[in-house]
């Protein structure tokens, strides 16, 4: 199947490309990697003015009401520049969770604030086991009168240090699937947020809950019914991450091909040598396959069809292929491409992070096998 962008999607892609080329240079990315907050308020406000935070939000909640493919178009452009900041954690993870489980009142309050850039969200799922499974959720939520009391730790919570609301997965029963979701004010008494130091400079946190009181009204969805929502958010987030990888892969391919055409050895460009040509051909194969698998999964999401297998095929392939593609880029450009001053190392770090988040290749191969009835 061939995926062609609509005229509106082409306009979104071109306008985003032009905007990000100006506002998100590689120097800015390096600066934000060592910045405590990790993003610029000025850039965040400009993105909100462009309506980017509202793409997935229905019009009745102050959103644009467009589809998932539109989001992947934008994320691909963000991936080309390694955009830092809490867009993914807020709009994709947080926004999808609220859309999937929120009451009408919760959607009106939270999504409207998200759409205009005034509210930042994140999702806290991962714990000590480091697995995206319901069984791994050990943080407890005990009901006491009109409150739930949350106790436990969450790891690798994206952008928790700047989030206004943390959507926390908590155990509310003895069965593995007895998991509930809670909207937790990040400034609640008993909470502690600690930034990790990461290779890529992305902002991942440990969030500790020490007898944190959460009003019953902040239960997102029904008690013990959070698992189905989490699994949908996970797979949609995996597809969205593949869109970022698609953008990064295109950029790395362009860098490698341009270098191979311009760098000369033995009186001719290195791109004239078969080994380099095959490296570039393999890179294009990896990049195009990521793109087509991502569009297939996104199209199924938009059309309301089952998308679980396509999402996991996409993430399994993308996790491995983006890493391999960047490695081939390093092979073509050589040792200088590992230096901090050279942009390719930014994409190597991005690829290593993307490889693991929302489940690595083996995790998603197991989902594909289950979908095949194995």
DSSP notation for 180-218: EEEEEETT-TTEEEEEPP-TT---EEEEEEEEEEEEGGG
At 2 the pLDDT is 59
Domain with CATH 1.10.540.10 in the chain: 7-119
Domain with CATH 2.40.110.10 in the chain: 122-224
By CB neighbour count within 10 A (0-12 exposed, 13-18 middle, 19+ buried), where does 52 fall?
buried
Q: Can you tell me the distance from the alpha carbon of 98 to that of 103, in angstroms, rounded to the nearest whole number?
A: 8
Q: Can you tell me the distance from the alpha carbon of 89 to that of 68, in angstroms, rounded to the nearest whole number?
A: 16
Q: To which CATH superfamily is domain 122-224 assigned? A: Butyryl-CoA Dehydrogenase, subunit A, domain 2 (2.40.110.10)
At 71 the pLDDT is 97
* Closest to 248 in 3D by CA, of 82, 15, 84, 16: 82
* Closest to 245 in 3D by CA, of 291, 279, 204: 291
Q: C-alpha angle with apex 236: 288 to 81, nearest 5 degrees?
A: 50
1.10.1040.10, 1.20.120.530, 1.20.140.10, 3.40.50.150: CATH of 228-371: 1.20.140.10
Beta bridge partners of 196: none
Contacts with 144 (C-beta within 8 Å, 6 or more apart), sequence order:
none
* Closest to 25 in 3D by CA, of 106, 84, 101, 111: 84
Pairing of strands 179-185, 219-220: antiparallel
pLDDT digit string (tens) for the chain, length 374 residues: 557 899 999 999 999 999 999 999 999 999 999 999 999 999 999 999 999 999 999 999 999 988 999 999 999 999 999 999 999 999 999 999 999 999 999 999 999 999 999 999 999 999 999 999 999 999 999 999 999 999 999 999 999 999 999 999 999 999 999 999 999 999 999 999 999 999 889 999 999 999 999 999 999 999 999 999 999 999 999 999 999 999 999 999 999 999 999 998 898 999 999 999 999 999 999 999 999 999 999 999 999 999 999 999 999 999 999 999 999 999 999 999 988 899 999 999 999 999 999 999 999 999 999 999 98
Beta bridge partners of 165: 121, 185
**pTM for this entry:** 0.95
The separation between CA 242 and the C-alpha centre of its own chain, rounded to angstroms, equals: 8
The separation between CA 249 and the C-alpha centre of its own chain, rounded to angstroms, equals: 15
CA atoms within 13 A on the CB side of 26: 12
Helix (H) or strand (E) holding 241: helix 226-262
State both tokens at 60: 């009745």
Q: Do 78 and 247 touch, CB atoms closer than 8 A?
A: yes
What kind of architecture, by CATH, is found in domain 7-119?
Answer: Orthogonal Bundle (1.10)
Q: Can you tell me the distance from the alpha carbon of 177 to that of 153, in angstroms, rounded to the nearest whole number?
A: 19
Does residue 109 sit in helix, strand or coil? helix
Domain with CATH 1.20.140.10 in the chain: 228-371
State both tokens at 24: 């998100």
């Amino acid at each position: 199947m061939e995926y062609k962008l609509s005229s509106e999607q082409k306009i979104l892609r071109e306008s985003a490309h032009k905007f990000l080329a100006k506002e998100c240079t590689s120097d800015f990315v390096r600066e934000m990697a060592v910045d405590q907050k990790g993003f610029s308020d000025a850039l965040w406000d400009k993105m909100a003015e462009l309506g980017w935070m509202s793409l997935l939000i229905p019009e009745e909640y102050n959103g644009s009401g467009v589809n998932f493919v539109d989001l992947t178009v934008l994320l691909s452009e963000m991936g080309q520049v390694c955009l830092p900041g809490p867009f993914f954690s807020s709009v994709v993870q947080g926004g999808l969770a609220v859309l999937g489980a929120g009451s009408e009142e919760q959607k009106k309050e939270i999504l409207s604030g998200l759409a205009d850039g005034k509210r930042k969200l994140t999702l806290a799922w991962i714990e000590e086991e480091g697995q995206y499974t319901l069984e791994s959720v050990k943080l407890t939520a005990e009901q006491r009168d009109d409150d739930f009391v949350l106790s436990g730790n969450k790891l690798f919570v994206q952008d928790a240090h700047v989030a206004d609301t943390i959507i926390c997965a908590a155990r509310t029963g003895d069965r593995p699937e007895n998991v509930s979701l809670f909207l937790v004010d990040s400034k609640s008494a008993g909470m502690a947020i600690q930034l990790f130091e990461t290779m890529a400079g992305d902002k991942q946190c440990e969030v500790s809950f020490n007898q944190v009181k959460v009003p019953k009204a902040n239960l997102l969805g029904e008690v013990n019914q959070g698992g189905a929502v989490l699994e949908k958010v996970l797979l949609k987030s995996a597809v969205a991450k593949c869109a970022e990888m698609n953008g990064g892969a295109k950029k790395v391919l362009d860098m490698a091909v341009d270098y191979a055409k311009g760098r000369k050895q033995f009186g001719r460009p290195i791109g004239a040598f078969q080994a380099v040509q095959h490296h570039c051909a393999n890179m294009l194969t990896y990049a195009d396959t990521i793109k087509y698998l991502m569009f297939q999964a996104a199209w199924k999401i938009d059309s309301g069809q089952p998308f679980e297998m396509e999402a996991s095929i996409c993430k399994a392939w993308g996790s491995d292929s983006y890493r391999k593609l960047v490695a081939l880029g390093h092979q073509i450009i050589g040792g200088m491409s590992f230096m901090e001053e050279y942009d390719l190392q930014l994409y190597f770090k991005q690829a290593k992070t993307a490889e693991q988040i929302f489940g690595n290749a083996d995790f998603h191969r197991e989902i594909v096998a289950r979908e095949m009835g194995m």
